[in-house]
């Protein structure tokens, strides 16, 4: 499943969201100065149509337990 991640220049994740309006092309995020946005494929996240607490908890855990690695190539998740 794809998620949108907002992160700073050091790779610290500040927000994780499921692009709910993605099908209609309505995804809009406005990062603060010094923040970046990337879309990542994250396994084990429940389908975006299932808005239950477990799915939200998984997104919170991503922000808490991971950071964005911004080496050569595309940004990717890395455990803290």
Give the predicted TM-score (pTM) of the model. Answer: 0.76
Instruction: Report which of 77, 55, 50 is spatially closest to residue 66, judged by C-alpha positions.
Output: 77
Q: Which residues contact 6 (CB under 8 A, 6 or more apart)?
A: 13, 14, 15, 16, 29, 31, 35, 36, 37
Given this model, what pLDDT does residue 41 score? 87
The domain locations on the chain are 2-79
Per-residue confidence at 13, pLDDT binned at 50, 70, 90? very high
Given this model, what pLDDT does residue 68 score? 96
Instruction: Report which of 16, 10, 6 is spatially closest to residue 69, judged by C-alpha positions.
Output: 10
Question: E strand or H helix at 62, and its extent?
Answer: helix 53-65
């Amino acid at each position: 499943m794809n998620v949108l991640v907002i992160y700073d220049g050091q790779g610290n994740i500040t927000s994780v969201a499921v692009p709910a309006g993605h099908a209609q092309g309505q995804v809009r995020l406005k990062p603060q100065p010094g923040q970046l946005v990337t879309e990542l494929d994250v396994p084990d996240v429940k389908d975006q149509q299932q808005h239950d607490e477990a799915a939200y908890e998984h997104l919170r855990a991503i922000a808490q337990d991971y950071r964005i690695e911004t080496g050569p190539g595309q940004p990717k998740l890395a455990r803290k």
